[in-house]
Structure 1
Amino acid sequence: MTWQLADEDATLNVARICSDIIDGGGLVFLLGTLGAGKTTFCRGFIQALGHEGAVRSPTYTLVEEYPLSARRVCHFDLYRLGDPEELEFMGIRDYLDDDSLCLIEWPQRGVGVLPEADLVLHLADEGDGRQLDIEAGSDKGQHWLQQLQQHPELSKLMMG
């Protein structure tokens, strides 16, 4: 499914809606060029779950953990990952348990080590705004995607 996001506020609003729908643990990949809005989406998602501090891209640390009251969210940025095997050394399997939701920017850098995502979000520049394409990679992801498609606020942004 494809949604048109007019500006940063629209990206944050979609992230908020997604935070209500994407429940429990899982794996969400965020794809897009530099500046496409991946970190903005993650910030909106994590803050909608109750985190009150800053949400920065973990470009140098690779991962930031947010132990929130409802669940643990792990925000990864693999842009500077030199080799997918580095994920094994940092203990990636410990983050991928059933209770954690992992938001992973630049997942293509972890190919061969990362499992398939439940949801894949593709963010792309589209004029002054962004285009967001979401596809499911699992039954859980398909359930989330169906809920997103039926959400009244998001249906206004749907392109097809």
Structure 2
Amino acid sequence: MKAALTILDTNLMVLLIVGLASQEYILRHKRTQSYTVEDFLLLQDILARAPSVITIPHVLAETSNLVRQFAEPGRTRLCAVSQNFVVDCVETTVASKAAAGRPEFRFLGLTDAALLEAQNDTSVLLTDDLDLYVASVSAGRQAINFSHLRAR
């Protein structure tokens, strides 16, 4: 079986960017304090096995805003890592109108509905958001709940 393309949700993208900037930032950044360095290493391991990680502009915008919520001098480092990630990532576009047309939009919001819209038969969504995970599986798509992997 061919490995699927991986789509990351915003929370895990923030963990990735913060951890790449400095593993010490994980416990200090208010958006990653619920994670550990081991969680970051697990995420890196999963992504290393993926043939490609894809993202959407909605996730990149949210991630950019969230990682910046950190004091200097770390903010500059976080922004540099984020910038490099954006330049190097595989990005696909989802029209907001298409995402808003999904029934899940009403309870998930724009970004998560757009993630569902971006999914196809060759991709797997990696998320720690239970509602997004359930919505993806309910839509007949592949999803992995990162919280389940953390518990192992």
Asked if these proteins are the same fold (TM beyond 0.5), I'd say no
| Bigger helix fraction | 2
TM-score, normalised with respect to structure 2: 0.32
Greater relative contact order (CA < 8 Å, ≥ 6 in sequence): 1
